[in-house]
Structure 1
Amino acid sequence: MTRTNSNRSSRVVLAALVVLLAATVPAAAVSVTGEDVPEEAQVGTQISATVTLEELYQNPQSEQWQLSGATELTDVSWTVVFYDQTGSQVNLVEPTGQSFSGLDVAASDGTAEVEVRITGTVPEVDSYTYDPPQEFLLMELTRGQQGGASSTVDAWRTHHYTETSASARTAIEEAGTAIEQARSAGANPSDARANYDDAVAAYNDGSFDVATNLANRATQQANQAQQSQQTQQLIIYAVGGLLLVGLIVGGVVYWRSQQGPEDPLG
């Protein structure tokens, strides 16, 4: 009888835990189902990006909420298109400025999907960093609820550059590759590594001509170190080969010397 009551109590506790866990596991958030976002862009150029949002009324479950957006692009134009479940357009809004807020996303309007498009000019770089590459906020979308609560749907950041910063970055990347190749060949390109580190520091300081020159020097030093290492290895292989030939010849001569004179009579 005691065992039956114990089993029944265990089942009750287990069922309660299942209900509790189900209540604490959040539903899926607004889903970003499509992205067309550039990973990098040159300062001063005009770029565009598009994202698509679905599963609009979950986490928290709500039949209506407000969409907000922000960007660091300049000369910005937004286009927010609302679609129903059949893919038909039900609304279109074109906010202005670097941010907008308060766009209603409502199930009562038939909205099942929202597409956000943005076009603008890539901003100047405030500070440069080689690793990780400097970025700017291309777009951030936020979901707001009545009462002031809000949460970020997602944010997209893009690497921005100038012609000179891009050239310096390319030179530094080539230097890093040359240094790794030299190390793989058994060389120790310490001078190249020192110039590489100085090139990165110059890049971070915005001194791109200096960074490029230092990186090119590092590449040359790394290549020279690799060639020197390869030459030394060839010399070692050659010397080893000569020693081996010498040993073989010496062995043959010694073997013949141990055979004695041949008997002319057989």
Structure 2
Amino acid sequence: HPFDSSKWGRVCRFLILDGVLEKNRIVEPLEATENDLLVVHSESYLNSLKSKCLHYRREMFMDLLRIHHNTSYQISHQVLVDVGHIYCIFILHTKILDNLIFFDLQIPPVALLPNCLAQKKILHPFRKQVGGTILAAKLAKERGWAINVGGGFHHCCAQKGGGFCAYADISLCIHYSFTRLNISRVMIIDLDAHQGNGHEQDFSNDRRVYILDMYNPGIYPFDYEARRFIDQKVEVVSRTTTNDYLAKLDEALQVHPHKLSSCPIFIFL
């Protein structure tokens, strides 16, 4: 689907114009440095994002393609780049052998851009958003709550990216909370339609992190291994009404009220 890199700024502008948000309430974060990112990512992974070899970066994300074993395929792509927008359009051509397969492709656009353009238009803004997630945690500890308009890259884990997520800002934020903010427990409430398989993999054996994930099991990423690490699964199918969705969420939040009260910090996605 389209990847719109300007949506976060438009959200802030809309809220300011509507009188909901004051400009002096907005704090610009610092860009996450390589040393920051090395807290969760390996040097080889970060170097792979800088790679000038298009083929290598594309191969790094090929695990997102679930190709039927007897279907040959090729991918043609068109990348439209503008100052404020980046859209990726993927066209999948399949040669039918036994049946026709439709794919929901979610390949990060960084895999298809020249390195210099990827750094300027995608990875630099992503690193700023990672910095925003860390800053939001710090401000939430100081003032009770904070919102990072960007970030929430819940498909990225320490070892690999996926689904438009190049950096594991959630994992980095949690590490920061444990080591710098004197936080002992964290609860992730992931309300994105897609399963948050990145943070689920990173904290699979960490009992300090409680994960409530409300997602549609019929769409990307189909990470059945990571689903084993969700403490509380709320599966919601397509075309669920708003009222039904909110009722399911309210019910989920009542299942373990002691879990809620024991967590000093919450991460909503």
TM-score, length of structure 2 as denominator length: 0.23
TM-score, length of structure 1 as denominator length: 0.23
Higher strand share: 1
